[in-house]
Structure formats: structure tokens, C-alpha cells
Chains A and B, each alone.
Chain A
Amino acid sequence: MGPASRYAYLHGRVSLMGARLLSETALANLSQVPADQETELLAAGGLKPPSEEQTVGAMRSLEQRLISSLLADIVVLTRALTGGARDFLIYWAYRFELSNLKTILRAKLYGESVATVREQLFDMGPFARLPVDELLRTDDVTELLRRLEGTPYADIARQGRRIYDEQHEPFALDAAVDRQYFAGLAKRSREAEGGGDPLRTLVGNLIDRINLLWLLRYRFAYGLPAGETYYLLIPAAYRLGGNELQRLSQLGSFEEVIANVPPPWGPLLEGAQSAAEVTLRLERDTWRLARSVMARGVFTTARAFAYLLLREKELRQIRAVVKGKRLGVAPDLVREAMGLEAA
């Protein structure tokens, strides 16, 4: 069975779902239209209009709805897949669960109440694997990590325990969790049957982007030494291979790193002044790449992944515009938060 017949259904679904994505213009309009006219625009993106309220609860519920919407898309897409490709997309959904895990870990470190933490957690629906109640009812971090060893996150628990024993720092725990997750994503992308070059390019773009950002943060925001910075990066070599990252880790300033980043990132980041600016430029590049994978119409898992990246981007932009408008933030700032080109 060739890729065309194997992925025909997935291809069909991705094309149809992709057609629902809001254009840059529609998103830009969303930041300008009054709240009562949002309904039509959001409905085009498969979303109900958000509440008019400005409360933390309402914003949280908006965030939950956006994540649920993305998870629902993943459910639909995974139905059309089997084997490694399916595992890859499901693993992508677990990213939100890791965010829950980090919230619980932090809460235990700072002794927050169960009720407060529960409000901050996302409902993972069919992708829930964490025994959230059990973890919330633990009395301290060591007990939490012990419990976590009995879950699919046992590797993270073991790694986290060692780091917690030695450093007691939420940053170190967060970094270990993320590093383990993205290393797993790279591994699964290699195992995804039919993933092929476009998937490798997309995942590579994502991981290179994260590595570059982490490198800047670890070195110049946290002041970590070069060796430690390099070790904490995701151990997966794409365009930014080990040698490149080692070389960049040893440079002494933010500007020096930016000036020495190899192509294609170098020209893209020229003149960037802050980590936020670097993030935005790199994200735009990922979205551009995802759009090109979607447009090429190849019959692989990469199109489904590209769609999910774009859908997530769209949902984040919707969240930014809704939140910004409800809180009365200036339209220019909203557009900036949405990552849209300047008006």
C-alpha cells in the first residue's frame, strides 16, 4: 500500500480542517472588530464566542476551551493514523499535560492549596494520563515524585528526583521535564512511519528554535556556564547540530550569539534585541514553514503536524486578542502579542 492510499483519509481531513484556519487578515480584523461582531469570525474558526467577563476564571475557561478544541482536532487526526505516526501526534498532545505536571510540581514546592492548583489545571480529556487527584493529594515534592514513578512519566520522575535532591529549584525541574519531553518528540518523529523529510524539517525547525531560545535564556538570563547550558539543550541534532550549539554556548554576549547564528537563522535574527523578539521571529518562521508543508499537499503525517502547529498558533492569537480586548489593551500591543506584522 503506497502513501497515497495509506494517507488519503488523513490528507482529506487535514485539507478540510486547514481550510477552516483563519487568515492573517481575518485575525487582524478580529483585533479591531467590536466584541459583539466576534461571533461570526470565531465561528469560521470553529470556536464559540468567549464570555464578556474579564475575570481570571473566564480567561481560564477560554484557555481551556482553546486547548480542548486543539485536543479535539488531534483526536480526529489520530483516528486516521496508525503506528508510529499516531503515537507521534498523541505525544504532541501530552505537552499540555506536562504543563499540568509542572503546575503541580511548583505548587508542591511553594505549598499552594489543592483548590488553587486544581483551578489552574487543564482538562486533558481523552489524553489524560496523570493521576491528578492522587498527585494533588501528596504532601510534599518527594512524595509527589514517588507517586509519579508509577505513571508513564516515570523517566521524568527519576530525573526530577535527582535534580530536586541536589538543587531544590523549580527551574531545574522544569528544564528537566521539557528536555525529556522534546527529546521524546524527536525520537517519535523519527519513528513516525511516513513522516519523511517534511516531518523531520518541521520537528527540526521546532527543536532548533527551542534550543536557540533556551541557549539565550540559560546563558544570559540565568547566567549558566557554557558547558551546563549546552548540556541542558535538547539532545537532538537538526540544522543546529552539536558543534554549532557548543560554539554558540561559548560566546560571551547576546549580540555575539545573534551575530554568529548560522543560516537560515542568522539573517532571520539580524538586529534582534531581545529574547522576546527572537521568539517572535523564529515562531513566524515555523508558521511559514508549516504553511508551506500544508500547501505542498504531500501525503504524510507532516501535513497533520503542520496543521496542528498552525491551529495552535491561531488559538494563541485568538486568546491574545480576546484577552487584550477584554482588558482594554491598546490595539497595537494586541497585534504585537498576536505576532502579527506591524500595521
Chain B
Amino acid sequence: MFKPLPMQRAALFMLSDDAPLAALTLAERGVFNPETTHLSANDLPEFPGESYRELYRSARSRLDKTLAHCSALKDELPMPAPRLVSEPELAALDEWLRAVWTECSKCQEGLRHFEEERKHIDQLLRAIDNFAALDIDLGLLVGSRRFIDVQIGTVPVAHVARLREALGIADYLVRPFLEIEGLTHLVVAGAAGKEDEARGVLQAAGWRAIEIPLELRERPDKARRDLQQRLDKVLEETDLQCRVIENTQKEFNDRLIEAQQVLAMVAPYAELGEALRARGGLVGIGGWVPRVDVASLRTALEERFDKRFVLSVRDPRPEERLQVPSVMRHVWFLRPIVQLVKTYGVPRYGEIDPTLLFAITFIAMYGMMFGDVGHGLSIALLGLALRKRLRQFTRFVVAIGLSSASFGLAYGSVFGYEEWLHPLWMSPLTDPTRMLTLALYWGIGFIVLTTLLNIRNRLADGDWEKALLDRGGLAGLLFYLGLLYAGFRYASGAEVGWLEGLVVLVPYAVIVGHIWHENAVSLGERILIVVIEGFETVVKYISNTLSFLRVAAFSLNHVALAIAVFTLAGMLDTAGHWITVVLGNVFIIGFEGAIVAIQVLRLEYYEGFSRFYSGDGREFRPLTLALGSPGKT
């Protein structure tokens, strides 16, 4: 629970013909994370299955695109008994998917085309009224002319100025007369014979010609009706295209489900990638397995291959530490927290897994900053009511709600009323200084703990230098404690002398010396880095500590917000009073509740995790039999 599971480097040797079935077996067990093999390139120089893998990638991509296009498939599909899929079968499937996707792609392109056409006609309809604004005879715009080339159309607004200049070179005149939705309507006119030159410019500017209805001059109503008919036709064609999509969904649904199942069975072998090496009839598969699962994996392989394989495992070597994937298995309650931890990063192998620390401190700080029995219970009940949507996060929401309710008991606050309940401890506003002092102690404790964890993590990495001399290591911790001691002496009016100076300056000198030592660059750059980073060390420790004052600030803010609500309610009659109280409390729960959550998360990530948690570990990604795209599961 406190660090990722111990892992074993595994190497599986077997006959080449058995490799696809072995991949399926490994996927069924779901405990084998393939890894570019450590097996000697000289012994096993070949990478088999490259064409199979390429076919899989192509088919998978086409299937994903088609599924995104046809959303009729069910989310939860049964997985049939695993079987081997041959390369010809996979090639045939890829070819079929190509044909299906080509149809879907045509549909998408068709819909896009109709949408553009719809917009164009819409613009034309809106432009008809504005043709009157043109100070020219409309008859000039219709049909071809012998000596003059006149065109009317649209370009994006941003292109007009440049177009005018460019067409000016070809002796064309440009007259904008309307601007709708980012498009400018223009009339361009020039001497006949230079149409080709003008056409190139117009094309480059994204010109779209507008056909002037012949009847526009004498019978504008007829022109409008014709355009409306054109629009109706486009809408009809769009509907038709949508029906084509529906039909495609119906027609191909069963085969697409089947394709998903087939690709799920192909995936394990294809996903092995360079973890699979071979020489002639022998293959080796490299990967990582949690130590606790090695025995069961061996049994599964024995059941399927009897003695036709060799599985060797060993502990990771120190130099492999950064490559080892981390497996975080937690009790059910902590699983939603794991997701929040992973948002920051995956723990490095051997590094302290901060999930439990995160859970305890997050829930505690949330309660401290948002302590109210009524609000807390409301959050907990809300979490339960939304459990279908929140899924595994339900228990997390209930937990922070209960924490808030518990601190509400300590503060004696129920929906902002402080007189209904006698506080088990005290209301924050009665002694703000005490609250701020406690928050400061909490912050100091948090920073000391996380720095200790960092020292431990660096020692586990074998990085003694960073563990002892770095600003986040022992030297940093001693500097921080020295700073606190000197600060405390100064604040309490005691004498600050050479001892206080020594406990601050000695570890600080070590830190600065270490920064100097680890930046082997030119002298000027070294001095710059040492000055900036040395200064930053001091600022960071102080600002991080003060950052925790927000724990007290928000608890005070919570009470103050309630007082504001009651003050407003007090100015109104009975009905208005209760409406204000209810709406005020809803506002506090929704708005302040969310802000507090964000603030706690900020404290956890920036003041906590950034101190000790590298979060640059590799997530354990075992081969599995899943219907979705591997990247999306």
C-alpha cells in the first residue's frame, strides 16, 4: 500500500509457432507488461510478426474511425472464447474495414459539403436584400460580357485588403458590399482577357462565386423561391446522407461487433512489439510481472504449453529502476484517490506511493476548511444521490462530506447557524489567530513530512547526494528547521545570535555548494544559477509554509460567508429570509465547496507532491483481452 508492488523481469522462451497463443494466454491473465526485451540482440536478432502488427494497426485505426462514425454499437459487448487469428484473416478484415471506412468517409465528406452548401445558400438569401445596396445595374452582373469580366462572390474578411491589392495588379476593381459571418461579399471587375490572372488570385484568396439569379432584377420573389428550393434540396440531401449513415450502422453492426472481437484477440500478439524477438523457430518475449503473480502465470502457461516453454524471472537491476512499471493495487476505498494521484503522475518504482497520505490529508484539510455539519451531510447525500454518475468517486465525495460534517461538530456550525449546536472545540471566528497558528503548524508538519519522504525516496533511488545535500534533502530539511527556529526566537522576542545564524547558514551553504557542484557549466552560468536557485530555495520554503495559512483562511471565510448570507436574509421578510438562507447555503455548498476542493488539491500537488514525488514512473500496462482500442482502455 505504501509503495508499488515488487516486480520481476520476465523472459519467456518458446517455439515461434506458439508465440501468438502465448500472447493470448498472457493477455488472459492480465499480469504481463511487455517490454522491449533485454534478450541479446545477437542471440535473437529477428523481430517476427511485423506485417501482422502493421495489419493490426491499420485495421484498428479504421475500426476506431468507423465506430466513431457509426455510434450504434453497444458499449458492453461479450468477449467470445479467445482464438488465434491468422494473417490472411486479418488482412481480409483490414480490407473490409477499408471499404467500410471509405463509405463512411464519403458520408462525412458529403455531410461537410452539404453543410457548406447550406451556409452558402443561407448567405445568398441574406445577400439578396443587399444587392439593392449595389450602385450598379444588376444586369451587368448576369451573363458573360464581351469587353468586361464581372464576377460576384465571397472571400474571408481578412483576405479582402490583400485581394484588392493583388487584383489591382491585374487592373481589376474590387467593391465589397456586404459582410456576413466572417465573409465579405464582393464585386470584382476588370477588362476581359485577364480572367486567368484574376482566377489564380481569387482561388488563393478562397473565393467562392455567387451565381446571380437571372430573375433577380425583375422578379426577386422568384429568385428567393428558387434559392429556398435549393436550400430545401440540400437539407433533403443531408437527411438522405444521415439515413445512409443509419443504414450503414444497421448493415454493418453485427460485422463491426465481430471485427472488434477479432481485433481484441489479435491485439495481444500485435502489442508485443519489440518485446518479441526471434531466431528461426525460437522466440523470446520480455516483460515485467508483479512478483505475486509469477506463480499463477507459470501455472497458466503450463496448462496451455505443458513443458514447451521456459519462463525465467529475476529482480530488477538498479540501473533498470526507471524502466520498471509501477503497479498500484489498493483497497476499494482508495481506488478513486489513485485516479487523483495519477493525474499528477505515476509513482516511480520503489518510490513512496502517496495515495494513502493524499487520502488522509485531503479529507482532513477539506473538513478543516469547510467545517459545517449541514453542508458536510449535504455533500455526502449529494454524493450518494449522484452515485451512478460519480461511480467510484462516490465514496470520495461521501468521505469529504463526512469530514466536513465532523469538523462542523468541532466548530459548532450547522448550515451557518452557530447557535444551534454547542461546538466541541470552538468556532473559527472566535479566535482567528489560533486558527492561523494551527494552520501554520499543520503546514510545517506537512512540509517536514514530505521532505522526509523525499529523503527516503532519493535514498531508495541510491542517490545519496540528493538525499543529503540537495535543497529537498537533509540539508534542505535542516535549513528549514533552522529557519523556523531562528524565526521563532525572533518572533518571541528572544535574542537571535550566532547559534541561530549557524543553524541557518551551515545547511544553506551546503545547499548552495551542491547547486554549484551539480551545474558543471561555464563560470558565469554557474554563478547565475547558484544565485537564482539559492534565492529561490529560501523563498520557496517560506512561501510554501505561508501557503498553508489558507487552511485557516478558508475556515474563517466559510463562517464569514454564512454571516453575509444571514445579514442579507435579516433585511427581508419571512419568506424572503428563508429563500435567501436556502439559496445562500446552496451557493456556499456549490461555489465555496468547489473552491475549497481546488485549493486543497493545489496544496496537495504543489506544496506536497512537488517536494517528494517525482511522478515520472511508468504505469503498468499489461496485455489484456479488451474490446476497446488499447490506447483507450
Contacts and interface: CB of A to CB of B under 8 A. Distances in A.
Interface stretch (A64-72, A219-227, A292-300): A219-227
Contacts of B547: none
A318 B446 CA distance: 51
A242 interface: yes
Nearest to A230: B166
B195 to A, nearest CB: 11
Contact of B197 (A12, A15, A225): A225
Nearest to A115: B54
Contacts of A16: 521-522, 524-525, 528
B201 A228 contact: yes
A9 interface: yes
A308 B525 CA distance: 18
Contacts of A172: 204
Contacts of B524: 12, 15-16, 19
A257 B109 CA distance: 44
Contact of A166 (B101, B109, B197, B203): B203
A231 B170 contact: no
Interface in B526-554: 528, 532
Interface string A149-162: 00000000001001
The interface centre, meaning the residue of A12, A139, A163, A228 with most chain B CB atoms within 10 A of its CB, is: A228
A235 B162 contact: yes
Interface stretch (A50-58, A100-108, A121-129, A140-148): A140-148
B253 interface: no
Contacts of A250: 169
A126 to B, nearest CB: 14
Given A139-B102, A143-B105, A231-B201, A225 B168 contact: no
A246 interface: yes
A238 B162 CA distance: 15
Interface string B51-66: 0001001100110010
Interface string B189-214: 00000001110110111100000000
A242 B54 contact: no
A141 B206 CA distance: 18
Interface string A215-249: 00000000011111011100100000010001001
The interface centre, meaning the residue of B161, B198, B204, B205 with most chain A CB atoms within 10 A of its CB, is: B204
The interface centre, meaning the residue of A159, A166, A225 with most chain B CB atoms within 10 A of its CB, is: A225
B493 to A, nearest CB: 36
Secondary structure call for the A interface: helix
A40 to B, nearest CB: 16
A19 to B, nearest CB: 7
Interface string B293-312: 00000000000000000000
B167 A227 contact: yes
A174 B487 CA distance: 63
B522 A227 contact: no
Contact of A137 (B58, B166, B203, B532): B58
Contacts of A39: none
Interface string B219-245: 000000000000000000000000000
A167 interface: yes
B117 to A, nearest CB: 13
B77 to A, nearest CB: 23
Contacts of A115: 54
Nearest to A134: B61
Given A15-B524, A16-B525, A228 B204 contact: yes
B616 interface: no
A141 to B, nearest CB: 11
Interface in A1-45: 9, 12-13, 15-16, 19-20
Contacts of A137: 57-58, 61-62, 65
Contact of A227 (B57, B62, B201, B206): B201
Interface in B557-586: none
A232 B165 CA distance: 12
Among all A-B residue pairs, the 5 with the closest Cβ atoms: A228-B200, A231-B166, A137-B61, A225-B197, A227-B169
Given A167-B203, A228-B204, A232-B204, 13 more contacts: A15-B524, A16-B522, A16-B528, A114-B54, A114-B58, A115-B54, A137-B65, A143-B105, A226-B197, A227-B166, A227-B170, A231-B205, A235-B162
